[in-house]
């Protein structure tokens, strides 16, 4: 089988980790008799430098013509430290999600046995952690009306950000979460702030209605502040967690440290027509070009991509190879190893 894959290396370590993932994908293709046809495209600061747009129309077209998108990272300190910058790399990420209709962000949180001692939480708390965070990605406060009123610098100057959700937006993400829970341990936690926020009350109402269609799923509702506490005290209690955009942004970053390294966590952003796969870590500009970044999150994102394409055995071969790499100590410096990015990807390819 032949598949069209859009490659968006982006900024910082993006090109290195995407190269590592494609090396592994090529090995999978050779073993399982597939062909991955790659098309590179610009995004982020690299795209701003080249064409002045963090998500060019050419990149959008390439993504829409592909079976899946494998994305590296966005971000550059040049823009972080310039409050006057009118165009920022991160704007490309929001634009891409909106254009491709990527309304669901899936972040699996799983602790590999060999990394139990790397977690900041005690082994007895984190051992056996295996849950999935489902974050709504194209609505809420990040996309609502925003602005300022009054005279700049005046004591009465106001700033506002509006959080808005439609019933349709909530229904599609909550339904997906229930369907994912049915494929796992059949437990769903809906995270909101329904005691304060009207949008959260809509979320809870919609989830209660959809729950009637999934009687086999144990559904619980949890305020976001409690969920934040439970993530560090009882993370093994979660199976699938679904929440709105900003809550999901914060909670998934909190959950990411459970694994012991950001370099181990993949993610997928799914829409009705398109799908994008990326590591959750940032562009890590301090490591760019040094061949020291952990490629495993990107390689695991490639495995999620293969599962999305229905290539489950192929994805399993990648996960098994990463297990071998971890057990053998073939890891990068974030996991206290001494191996380079390219050495780790080569070992994983050989294991496959």
Residue burial 162-183, b: 16+ Cβ < 10 Å; e: rest = ebebeeebbebbbbbbbebbee
Q: What is the rounded distance in angstroms from the CA atom of residue 187 to the CA atom of residue 73?
A: 32
Dihedral angle computed from the Cα positions of residues 43, 45, 49 and 55, in that order, rounded to the nearest 10 degrees: 30
**With DSSP H G I counted as helix, E B as strand and the rest as coil, what are the percentages for the chain, rounded to 5?**
50, 20, 30
User: Contact, 268 vs 308, CB < 8 A?
Assistant: yes
| Catalytic residue flag (residue 154) | no
Residue 156 annotated as catalytic: no
Of 35, 253, 290, 350, the catalytic one is 253
The separation between CA 227 and the C-alpha centre of its own chain, rounded to angstroms, equals 19
Residue among 31, 225, 290, 350 flagged as catalytic: 225
Closest Cα to residue 235, out of 114, 121, 134, 107?
Answer: 121
What one-character DSSP code corresponds to residue 155? T
Rounded to whole angstroms, how far apart are CA atoms 154 and 82? 23
Which listed residue (53, 60, 130, 249) is catalytic? 249
Pairing of strands 240-243, 187-192: parallel
In this structure, is the dihedral angle defined by the CA atoms of residues 258, 262, 266 and 269, taken in order, positive or negative? positive
Would residue 80 show up in a list of annotated catalytic residues for this protein? no
Choose the catalytic residue: 76, 193, 284, 347: 193
- Separation CA 191–CA 119 (nearest Å): 24
Respond yes or no: is residue 117 known to be catalytic: no
* Catalytic annotation present for 67: no
- If residue 224 lies in a helix (H) or strand (E), which one and from where to where? helix 224-233
The phi and psi torsions of 149 (rounded to 5 degrees) equal -130, 155
Annotated catalytic sites, by residue?
Answer: 142, 193, 225, 249, 253
């Amino acid at each position: 089988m032949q598949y069209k894959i859009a490659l968006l290396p982006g900024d910082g370590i993006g090109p290195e980790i995407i190269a590592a993932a494609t090396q592994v994908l090529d090995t999978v293709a050779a073993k399982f008799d597939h062909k991955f046809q790659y098309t590179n495209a610009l995004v982020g600061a690299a795209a701003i430098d080249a064409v002045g747009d963090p998500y060019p129309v050419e990149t959008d077209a390439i993504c829409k013509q592909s079976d899946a998108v494998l994305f590296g990272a966005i971000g550059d300190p040049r823009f972080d430290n310039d409050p006057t910058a009118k165009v920022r790399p991160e704007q490309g990420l929001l634009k891409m999600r909106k254009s491709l209709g990527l309304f669901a962000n899936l972040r699996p949180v799983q602790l590999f046995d060999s990394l139990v001692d790397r977690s900041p939480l005690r082994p007895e708390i984190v051992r056996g952690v295996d849950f999935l965070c489902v974050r709504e990605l194209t609505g809420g406060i990040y996309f609502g009306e925003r602005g300022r009123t009054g005279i700049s610098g005046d004591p009465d100057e106001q700033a506002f950000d509006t959080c808005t959700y439609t019933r349709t937006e909530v229904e599609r993400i909550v339904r997906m979460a229930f369907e994912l829970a049915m494929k796992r341990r059949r437990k769903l936690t809906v995270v909101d702030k329904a005691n304060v926020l009207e949008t959260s009350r809509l979320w809870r109402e919609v989830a209660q209605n959809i729950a009637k269609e999934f009687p086999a799923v144990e559904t619980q509702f949890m305020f976001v502040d409690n969920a934040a506490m439970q993530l560090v005290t009882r993370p093994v209690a979660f199976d699938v967690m679904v929440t709105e955009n900003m809550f999901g942004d914060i909670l998934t970053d909190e959950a990411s440290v459970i694994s012991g390294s950001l370099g181990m966590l993949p993610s997928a952003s799914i829409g009705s027509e398109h799908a994008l796969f990326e590591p959750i870590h940032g562009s890590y500009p301090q490591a760019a070009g040094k061949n020291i970044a952990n490629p495993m999150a990107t390689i695991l994102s490639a495995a999620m991509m293969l599962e999305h394409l229905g290539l489950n055995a192929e994805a399993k071969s990648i996960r098994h190879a990463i297990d071998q790499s971890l057990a053998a100590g073939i890891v990068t410096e974030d996991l206290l190893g001494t191996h380079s990015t390219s050495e780790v990807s080569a070992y994983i390819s050989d294991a496959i």
